[in-house]
Structure formats: C-alpha cells, structure tokens
A = this chain, B = another copy of it.
Amino acid sequence: MENPTTSPPDEKSLDRHAFVLKRLSNKNHRYTTGRHRLVDALAGSDKPLTLPDIVAIAPDLAASSVYRNLEVLEQCGVVKRIASGRDHAHFELAEPLLSHHHHLVCTECGAIEDVRLDDEVEELLDQRLNLVAARASFKPLHHSLDLHGHCANCEGLL
C-alpha cells in the first residue's frame, strides 16, 4: 500500500481540505502544512489513531505541535478525541468528514475499530436520547456508542 499522506489529491481530499480550511478560518486559524499533514494522516486510516500512530505515519511532525493541532482541530469540530482511559487517547476526523459510526473497543489490547449501524436504529436512538436530555434540561450535541469486548486477535490468545 502506498503512503496515503503523499498520494495525489483526489476529489475527496480536496473537499476535505476545503472543509477544514473553512472551519479553521472561522476562528482565525491558519491551515498550515503541518495541519494538512495531520488531517491527511487521520484521513488515511480506517481506525482512530494515537499520537504514536500519527508520528509514525508522519515522522517529521513534532509531537508537541501534533498535540496542539489536535486540540485546535477539535475546537473547530474537525477532530474527535476518544479517551480510552488507559494509555494514549485516540483521534479521528469528526462527523462531517467521516460518516457517523461507532466503535468496537478491545478491552485487552485497546484496539479500536469502526462500525456503522442502520439509519433506522440511529434515528430511534437519537429520538430517545433527545427525550431524556430534554427531561434533564441538557442540550444534546452528539452521542457516542462503543461496544467493549475482545477483538478476534486477543480472543484467540485467551
């Protein structure tokens, strides 16, 4: 597999670029090459990445800058942070850039995989969540649903 961070830009990556630029500009932030590389790294993976994952993919990015930019991009709604509790947090592109999905989280090795549910289930879920939120005077922004268990690899080793 070719390194996705250096592939020629296709239509999707141009859209992504434009979207991120807009979100950053809204808050007077610049879309620098470092941030572009970070977004590309996240976009080039089919699962959320940790900081070590990211610097492994793009070794010339400074860890401190990556952390700072993940923070900035999170504020702008471009990146979503997934706190594993143990060790490193995972990061992925946020909803408009990645279609709505959930995670299979391995409680043994910490690996995270993406999964999608039927729209029908998602709608029902949102409906009910909005209901309980309203009851608690809570303003809902988004939901996160994770299935915890053992991935195929760890289950085999147990």
Binding site for B on A (CB under 8 A): 81-86, 89, 104, 106-107, 113, 115-118, 121, 124-125, 128-129, 132-133, 136-152, 155
Contacts and interface: CB of A to CB of B under 8 A. Distances in A.
Instruction: Give how many copies assemble into the complex.
Output: 2
Q: Is the interface of A mostly helix, strand, loop or mixed?
A: mixed
A144 B118 CA distance: 18
Looking at A132, A143, A144, which has the most chain B CB atoms within 10 Å of its CB? A132
Contacts of A138: 104, 106, 113, 147, 149-152
Nearest to A145: B145
Contacts of A115: 132-133, 136
Contacts of A125: 121, 125, 145
